[in-house]
Amino acid sequence: MLEDKNQKPVSELEELGEFGLIKHLTENIKLQNKSSIKGVGDDAAVIQYDNKQTVVTTDLLVEGIHFDLLYTPLKHLGYKAVTVNLSDVYAMNAQPKQITVSLAVSNRISIEALEDLYEGMLLACNIYGVDLVGGDTTSSTSGLIISVTALGEADEKELVYRDGAKENDLICVSGDLGGAFMGLQLLEREKQIYSENPTVQPDFSGFDYVLERQLKPEPRKDVIDMFKEIDVKPTAMIDVSDGLSSDLIHICQQSNVGCTIYEDKIPLDHTTVSVAEEMKLDPTVCALNGGEDYELLFTISLEDYEKIKEQQRVSVIGHITSDKEAYQIVTKGEQINTLTAQGWNAILKND
C-alpha cells in the first residue's frame, strides 16, 4: 500500500494484536435489525428469522486477482466488498440483513488503512440496513484477502431462482452495462502510464461515471422494491457479475431453455460508449463480456409486460426460446450471431 510520507505516522498492527484489532474496528457497530439477536463480541452471532427462508452467499476478494491497491482506495474497496454480496441476496429477490467479514492482512497494512476499509464496509451496511455481526482476522504473506458472507431473508413464495425461465418470457436488465469494465480499462491504462513515467499524473476528468461503476458499485435494492410496488415476480434472476452473455447463459442452462437478445436493446451509458470508442473497443462487446456491473438480469412472464414497460430503470432486451443451447444475439445489422460465455472466470486466467 503506497502511503504519503507527508502524512502522520501510521500505526502498526502489532500494536493492537488480533483481538485488540477486532475490538478497535468493531466497537462502534450498532445493530439495526430485530433478527440480529447477538452480534460481534461472542463465539458466534445469534440470528433469528421468524417464518422466513434464509439465504446465504459469500465472496472472496484477493489482492492482485480482484483488486489492485495502487488505484483502489481502501474505503471504496470496503464498500464494494459488502455491496457485491448484497447484490447476490437481491438477485434471489430477498432482503439482506447481516454480514460477516474475515480478513487476511500483511504487516504492510496499517491500522489506519484497515480503519478506512471498515469505514467503507460500515457505510454500505448503514445505507442498505445491514448488520455486521462477526468475522475473523489473520495474517497473510500474499497481500490483502477479504471474505464477506451475507445473510438475508424472504418469504418462501417470494424467492426467485435461476431455473424458472420459460419459453416466451421476456429478458430484462436493470440500469446499463459495460461501465464497470470500461472503468477498469481506464484505471489499468493510467496504471501502465504511471509505471512507465511516475511523473505523469492520471487524468480522469469526465470519467467519473465509469470509475464509480468499477470502484463503488451499487446493488439494485430499488429494483427489488419496484417488483413489490408493481406486483411482478421474476421467473428467473441473476446479478450481472460475470458479463451479460455469461450470466444470461447461466439462466438458460439452469432453466433448460434458449434465448434471443437484440443488440440495439442493450442499455449503454454515453460515457461507456465514448470511453470504449476512445480505446477502440466495441461498446456492445464490453457490455456482453465485461462484468462487475451488478445490475439485475431477470425474466418475466409476457403477461407482466404492461406492468414493466414504463419502468425507466429496466430495459427489455429479448425473449426466452424453447430451443435449448441456442443462445442468440441479433445485431443492429439484423445478423443472427451465437451468444457465447466470454465473461470473467475466477479460476481461469483472464486477460
Question: Would you state the cell numbers that stand for residue 77, as one nine-digit string?
Answer: 474497496
Q: What is the pLDDT of residue 178?
A: 97
Given a cut of 70, is residue 44 above it in pLDDT? no
Report angle CA 247, 73, 197 to the nearest 5 degrees: 100
Q: What is the pLDDT of residue 110?
A: 87
State mean pLDDT over 168-182. Answer: 98
Q: How many CB atoms sit inside 10 A of residue 2's CB?
A: 6
Report angle CA 237, 172, 187 to the nearest 5 degrees: 85
- The band of 38, judged by pLDDT with boundaries at 50, 70 and 90, is low
Question: Would you state the cell numbers that stand for residue 24, as one nine-digit string?
Answer: 478497535
Confirm whether 13-158 and 170-338 share one CATH topology.
no
Q: Is 234 exposed, middle or buried (0-12, 13-18, 19+ CB in 10 A)?
A: buried
Q: Residue 239: which of 88, 47, 124 has the closest Cα?
A: 88
Q: Are 179 and 291 within 8 A, CB to CB?
A: no
Dump pLDDT digits (tens) for 83-141. Answer: 999 999 999 999 999 999 999 998 888 889 999 999 999 999 999 999 999 888 888 98
Per CATH, is 170-338 categorized as 3.40.640.10? no
- The band of 346, judged by pLDDT with boundaries at 50, 70 and 90, is very low
Question: Would you state the cell numbers that stand for residue 18, as one nine-digit string?
Answer: 488480533
Q: Where are the domains of the chain?
A: 13-158, 170-338
Global confidence as pTM: 0.88
- The band of 63, judged by pLDDT with boundaries at 50, 70 and 90, is very high
Given a cut of 80, is residue 52 above it in pLDDT? yes
CATH of region 13-158: 3.30.1330.10
Dump pLDDT digits (tens) for 203-246. Answer: 788 899 999 999 999 999 999 999 999 999 999 999 999 999 99
Given a cut of 90, is residue 21 above it in pLDDT? no
Least confident of 116-130, 163-177, 190-204, 269-283: 190-204
Q: Are 269 and 209 within 8 A, CB to CB?
A: yes
Q: Are 109 and 1 within 8 A, CB to CB?
A: yes
In three-state secondary structure terms, 97 is: strand
Query: What does the DSSP 8-state code read for residue 100?
Result: E
- The band of 51, judged by pLDDT with boundaries at 50, 70 and 90, is confident
Mean pLDDT of the chain: 88
The H or E element spanning position 25 is: helix 17-26
- The band of 16, judged by pLDDT with boundaries at 50, 70 and 90, is low
Distance CA(224)–CA(228), nearest Å, equals: 7
Distance CA(212)–CA(270), nearest Å, equals: 15
Q: Tell which wins on pLDDT, 201 or 265.
A: 265
